[in-house]
Amino acid sequence: MNSSTGHPRRWQILNVLCLSLVLIGLDTLILNLALPSIQKDLDATSSQLQWMVDSYALAFGGLLLMAGGLSDRFGRKRLLSLGLAAFALTSLGAAFASSAEMLITFRALMGISAALMMPATLAIIKDVFPREEQGKAIGIWSGAAAVGVPLGPLVSGLLLEHFWWGSMFLINVPLAAIALIGAAKLIPESKAEDHPGLDLVGALLSVGGLVAIVYGLVEAPHNGWGDIVTLGSLFVGAALMVAFVLWERHTAHPMLDVGLFLNARYGGGALAIACTSFGLYSGLYLLTQYLQSVLELDPLGAGLRMLAIGTMMIGAPLSAKLVERAGLKATVVFGLLLCAVGMGILAGLSVDDENQALLGLAVFGLGMGIALPAAVDAILVVSAARQAGAGSAVADVGMQVGGALGIAISGSVVTTLYRDDLPQAAQLPGEAGAAVRESLAGASATAQQLGGAAGQRVLDAAQHSFVGGFATTLMIAVGVAVAGALTTAVVLPRARVAEDDGTAQAEVAAQGGKADSPASS
């Protein structure tokens, strides 16, 4: 392949990669709207329901770095194909799960499959696209990576209107099969021919550290931030990640060159990705509840409204052009500030502000579409050629950990504020009162059982309490986006590459060899 012109079928290859990414994103929130049906059919406890959602993110986030190293060692196409095949098989298992434990297991296996797929997609883009087209390709990649998340509730709502809950997993099977066939026919294999082998100690430390951190984050809303399990998990995870950094700095053949984080583009790009993902996941997590339990929309209606965030598909192609004209720093900062404005609009919602919800989503989506591709490219442009998969995994880990933190914090804060703000009108005795205090969904069910004026009083009180907590919680996302914008304004350099820090030379050098071109070409 001529690195200056790229692979002749690179845009068809990008279609295959984007389909893989949409599959991964689709299953992040697809389960949320079906939990009541699953609870009834599988007789699941509330804890088991939470693990059906969390096990996917836990396995996915925990194994990303290791999967990136595996793709560098054994081949990016091979890992992508293995992940797609495993995703189809585990989705089939999840669709016909006959117990809560079985569904949790298959969801975790789906997360492992997704982890095998995702780092390879970015590395393949860097292999098949010439330098001048990579910005545009990564913009499309970013849009596909993000658009699957809001598509999940839409697809879920549509299928639940006509079929049983397992159908939302069955849809993955033909889509994964199409992507698998396309990968086999179109994508060339690429790997680091001089790769010294897998860093097993580093892999185990990174997996253990990330799994412990993600576990602590997803359990915090339920156990409490001061709980021994939460604090212990976060402490163990942090300790293992410190050990991982120390090991990688001293081993002869590290899985990931952690010194790259001292590079302004690498560290600043990872921060921007995490801040953007924090807003995306926390915003969508809360908004699905607002649309269903406050505006009282059915699952399909709620899913359709979520498509307003599709403006990211407008922002993503603009990102590379803005980097060329205004520079890397200005593009990322502008995108993050737009994300903050979008979250701010959502934070101003009242009990019946559907149009404002759509506007906030649209503004946030545009900002995310602008910031994310530029931040991802900033990381990849300084990644070593033989570590394209691991470098890609850093961007993916930023998205997953930022998202897990967004859901954990928003879930914990909104629950606390909701309970504290409930007026006396909603303080019912016994099980009914416990259901009202537990969640807005519980309050809605209780109000329906009470009926009449009493039920309406409980529902009104619960909805207003939730919206108050919703607004305050989203201001945290606003603060995270603004803090990210201010930090990247200081940290990120203006230009995408520069002679004085070696990124320009590294990119040119990486284009000189076929085997090593994925990381920086």
Q: State the SS3 of 33-102.
A: HHHHHHHHHHCCCHHHHHHHHHHHHHHHHHHHHHHHHHHHHHCHHHHHHHHHHHHHHHHHHHHCCCCHHH
Write down the mean pLDDT value for the chain: 79
pLDDT: which is higher, 392 or 124? 124
Task: Tell me the percentage of the chain whose pLDDT exceeds 90.
Answer: 18
Which candidate, 105, 99, 93, places its Cα nearest to that of 38? Answer: 99
Cβ-in-10-Å burial (0-12, 13-18, 19+) of 228 comes to: exposed
Q: Of the given ranges (272-281, 316-325, 458-467), which has the lowest mean pLDDT?
A: 458-467
Side-chain-side CA neighbours of residue 287 (13 Å): 37
pLDDT band at 239 (very low <50, low <70, confident <90, very high): very high
- The pLDDT of residue 517 is 34
Rounded Cα–Cα distance for residues 286 and 336 (Å): 20
Share above pLDDT 70 across residues of the chain, in percent, rounded to a whole number: 83
The region of weakest confidence among 4-13, 28-37, 235-244, 264-273 is: 28-37
End-to-end CA distance of the chain: 12
| CB neighbour list of residue 486: distance below 8 Å, 6 or more residues apart | none
Q: What is the pLDDT of residue 27?
A: 81
Q: Which residue has the higher pLDDT, 1 or 117?
A: 117
pLDDT of residue 520: 33
Residue 214, φ and ψ in degrees, nearest 5: -65, -40
For residues 446 and 434, the answer to whether their CB atoms sit within 8 Å is no
Task: Give residue 479's pLDDT.
Answer: 94
User: How confident is the model over 75-82, as a mean pLDDT?
Assistant: 89
pTM of this structure = 0.75
Q: CA angle, corner 167, sides to 408 and 63, nearest 5?
A: 40
Nearby residues of 164 by Cβ (< 8 Å), 6 or more positions away: 37, 41
pLDDT at residue 81, as a whole number: 93
Quote the tokens at residue 261: 């984080």
Lowest mean pLDDT among 33-37, 63-67, 129-133, 452-456: 33-37
CB 234 within 8 A of CB 219: no
pLDDT above 90: residue 193: no
What angle do the packed helices 100-128 and 35-42 form, to 10 degrees? Answer: 140
Neighbours of 433 (CB within 10 A): 16
Q: Strands, DSSP E only, in 317-468?
A: none
The CA distance from 13 to 8, in Å, is 10
DSSP-assigned letter for residue 7? -
State the angle between helix axes of 264-289 and 10-29 in degrees (0 to 180), rounded to the nearest 10.
50
22-31, 485-494, 500-509: which range is least confident on average? Answer: 500-509
Does residue 416 surpass a pLDDT of 80? no
Alpha helices in 251-311 (DSSP H): 264-289, 299-306
Region 370-374: mean pLDDT is 88
Q: Who has greater pLDDT, 407 or 105? A: 105
3-state DSSP call for residue 177?
A: helix
Burial (0-12, 13-18, 19+ Cβ within 10 Å), 325: exposed
DSSP string, 202-231: HHHHHHHHHHHHHHHHHHHHHH-TTSHHHH
d(CA 122, CA 143): 13
